[in-house]
Amino acid sequence: MVLVDTSVWIAFFREKSSTAAKSLDTLLEEGEVCICGLIEAELIPGLRQNDRERVRSLLAGVSRIEIPPDIWFNIIKIQEDALAQGLGPFSIPDLLLASLAIRNNFPVFSLDRYFEDLSRLTGLTLWRKL
């Protein structure tokens, strides 16, 4: 499974011919995509009204990771470690995704450079098309 960040979904819906969109399409066909409620909350409101139901329908077929209540301790720890090393501060949504991915041992597919720093800091695995 690959936890796919909102940045990739935006590329997927905006430019189907992009490398990110093609990679996500392949992962979807292989049934390897997962999301969490945060991704839906970031993505769906930003869509045009007439696209929202189509996207909801697509996302309904994707695996989900639930956000456990104790994940916030991980988020705080990562942010504290980052600040102590002169990195960050990172956004809470990025920290949440990184924490969920680490906990579930899933790589993250993102176009945001912040995940590179989070990977170096935490050992988070980033998904790269082979």
Q: Average of pLDDT values for 44-73?
A: 95
33-35, strands of its sheet edge to edge: 63-64, 33-35, 2-4, 108-109
- Is the pLDDT reported for residue 77 higher than 60? yes
Q: What is the pTM of this model?
A: 0.94
Work out the pLDDT band at 130, boundaries 50, 70, 90.
very low
Q: What is the CA radius of gyration of the chain?
A: 15
Share of the chain above pLDDT 70, in %: 98
- Report the alpha-carbon angle 107-118-38, nearest 5: 65
When the pLDDT of each residue in the chain is averaged and rounded to a whole number, the result is: 95
Q: Average of pLDDT values for 119-123?
A: 96
Please tell us whether the domain made up of 2-122 is placed in CATH 3.40.720.10: no
Q: What is the pLDDT of residue 94?
A: 97
Work out the pLDDT band at 68, boundaries 50, 70, 90.
very high
Q: Where along the chain do its domains lie? A: 2-122
